[in-house]
Every structure is written in C-alpha cells, then in structure tokens.
C-alpha cells in the first residue's frame, strides 16, 4: 500500500524545511520564499504559499521540488503518513 500524503499547513511545511536548513528570506503577499546555501555555495530556493491548509497538489509539488535538495528518505516522513 502506497503511503498517504498528509494534509499540511504552510506552517508545518516551513517547520519541516527548516529542519533541513531552509530559512524564510522574504514574504510577498501570501507566499514565503525559503532558501539555504549548499555546501558548494549555490542557493537552493523554494516558494511556499501561506495557507492554513495546503491543497494536496500543492503539497505534492513542494515535496517534489524539495527532493532536488533533500534526500527522499529524510523528507518523506514529513509529507507522508506512515
């Protein structure tokens, strides 16, 4: 059985990304930009909409984008129910 995507708020997503070193660098309207510097000095940037409850497609999109920077084994527990 495939793991089920959790219903998350933007606050929960930001907390999860924060554990991997991402920090909010700006807020424009209803979106927060989070960034971290990689070991090679490149900037890794993600945008998170600020809503009480993110739609499943939005949560999945953020997850897929974050996979570019964070290993799936570390990120998956934050986004999927066991």
- Beta bridge mates, 36: 44
* pLDDT in the model for residue 77: 95
* pLDDT in the model for residue 1: 74
CA–CA separation, 11 and 48 (whole Å): 9
Q: What is the pLDDT along the chain (82 residues), one digit of tens a residue?
A: 778 999 999 999 999 999 999 999 999 999 999 999 998 999 999 999 999 999 999 999 999 999 999 999 999 999 999 7
Domain residue extents for the chain: 10-71
For the full predicted model, state whether its pTM sits above 0.85: yes
* pLDDT in the model for residue 2: 76
The CATH fold assigned to 10-71 is Metal Transport, Frataxin; Chain A (3.30.920)
């Amino acid at each position: 059985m495939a793991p089920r995507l959790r219903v998350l708020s933007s606050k929960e997503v930001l907390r999860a990304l924060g554990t991997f070193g991402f920090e909010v660098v700006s807020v424009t309207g209803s979106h927060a930009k989070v960034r971290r510097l990689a070991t090679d000095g490149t900037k890794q940037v993600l945008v998170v909409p600020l809503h009480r409850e993110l739609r499943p497609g939005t949560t999945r999109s953020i997850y897929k984008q974050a996979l570019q920077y964070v290993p799936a084994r570390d990120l998956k527990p934050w986004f999927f129910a066991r």
